[in-house]
């Protein structure tokens, strides 16, 4: 996906500047809502034509943005998944394993809060319009996630596991993706450090409940 001679490192290559700008814009307003001109301007180019030296067209740029944005998330998930697999044996997943995974994922999302928006938008669009790249990227971690969840100890049957995986995904990504809405409906900035920390604690507890590693069960607030 990245042919160019390898960046000299001194500054971000033009290609990366473009990807950065496009990522921000596409996350904010979606594929159709972004004009190539804005991306060019944001990337420090004086002219949209320059974009086409780096990406064949808008669609190709969009896909490159998605692939680049997805990669680290896929990495976090798959590394954590492998770690979890190797620990199993004690009968079920341990809470701290899960928490470690969630921490890594949320650390990354907190630093790249528009990625979930980008991904949700892609999920809403007809994915068949995307080249195979994206599905190919997602399918493996989806399968792995489902498999890893099989190690858990919740009240789940085999056929529930894909739904559980999707549910946890929505729990985590939905918060960031709907941040703008939450801000209007709730109040306060959902992306402020404090708010993200609260959400982090919430997600850990919620996932623990769902996976049946909730510990002090039933003694909750009483």
Give yes or no for residue 48 binding DNA (CB under 7 A). Answer: yes
CA 106, chain centre distance (Å): 9
**Residue 81 · residue 151 · CB < 8 Å:** no
192 contact, one of DNA, its own copies, none, CB 5-8 Å limit per kind: none
Give yes or no for residue 66 binding DNA (CB under 7 A). Answer: no
Give yes or no for residue 52 binding DNA (CB under 7 A). Answer: yes
181 contact, one of its own copies, DNA, none, CB 5-8 Å limit per kind: its own copies
- Residues contacting its own copies: total by CB under 8 A: 63
Instruction: Indicate the residue among 50 and 151 with the shorter CB distance to DNA.
Output: 50
DSSP-derived letter for residue 221 is: -
Instruction: Indicate the SS3 state at residue 139.
Output: helix
Q: In 3D, which of 6, 117, 135 has the Cα closest to residue 63?
A: 135
E strand or H helix at 167, and its extent?
A: helix 161-177
Give yes or no for residue 121 binding DNA (CB under 7 A). Answer: no
CA distance 70 to 141: 11
Instruction: Indicate the residue among 1 and 132 with the shorter CB distance to its own copies.
Output: 132
**Residue 1 · residue 64 · CB < 8 Å:** yes
- Residues contacting DNA: total by CB under 7 A: 21
Give yes or no for residue 4 binding DNA (CB under 7 A). Answer: yes
Other C-beta atoms closer than 10 Å to the C-beta of 16 total: 16
Instruction: Indicate the residue among 9 and 216 with the shorter CB distance to DNA.
Output: 9
CA distance 220 to 217: 6
Encoded one letter per residue, x for contact with its own copies by CB under 8 A and - for no contact, window 129-168 reads: ------x--xx--x----------xxxxx-xx-xxx-xx-
Q: What share of the chain is helix, strand, coil (3-state, %, to 5)?
A: 70, 0, 30
50 contact, one of DNA, its own copies, none, CB 5-8 Å limit per kind: DNA
Instruction: Indicate the residue among 29 and 68 with the shorter CB distance to its own copies.
Output: 29
Which one of 10-18, 78-86, 101-109, 178-186 is the stretch in contact with its own copies (CB under 8 A)?
178-186
Both structure tokens of 66? 């998605």
Give yes or no for residue 46 binding DNA (CB under 7 A). Answer: yes
Other C-beta atoms closer than 10 Å to the C-beta of 2 total: 13
Instruction: Indicate the residue among 10 and 126 with the shorter CB distance to its own copies.
Output: 126
**Residue 160 · residue 150 · CB < 8 Å:** no
Give yes or no for residue 1 binding its own copies (CB under 8 A). Answer: no
User: Interface with DNA by CB under 7 A: which residues?
Assistant: 4-5, 14-15, 34-37, 45-54, 57-59
């Amino acid at each position: 996906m990245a042919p160019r001679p390898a960046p000299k490192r001194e500054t971000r290559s033009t290609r990366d500047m473009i990807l950065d700008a496009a990522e921000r814009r596409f996350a904010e307003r979606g594929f159709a809502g972004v004009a190539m001109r804005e991306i060019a301007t944001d990337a420090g180019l004086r002219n949209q034509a320059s974009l086409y030296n780096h990406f064949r067209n808008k669609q190709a740029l969009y896909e490159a943005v998605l692939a680049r944005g997805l990669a680290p998330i896929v990495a976090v998930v798959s590394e954590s998944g492998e770690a979890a697999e190797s620990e199993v044996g004690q009968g079920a997943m341990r809470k701290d394993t899960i928490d470690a995974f969630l921490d890594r994922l949320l650390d990354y999302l907190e630093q790249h809060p528009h990625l979930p928006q980008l991904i949700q938008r892609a999920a809403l669009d007809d994915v068949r319009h995307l080249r195979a790249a994206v599905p190919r990227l997602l399918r493996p971690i989806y399968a792995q996630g489902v498999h890893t969840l099989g190690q858990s100890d919740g009240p789940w049957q085999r056929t529930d596991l894909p739904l559980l995986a999707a549910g946890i995904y929505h729990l985590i990504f939905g918060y960031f993706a709907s941040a703008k809405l939450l801000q209007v409906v709730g109040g306060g900035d959902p992306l402020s450090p404090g708010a993200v920390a609260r959400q982090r604690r919430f997600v850990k507890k919620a996932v623990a409940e769902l996976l049946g590693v909730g510990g002090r069960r039933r003694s909750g607030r009483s």
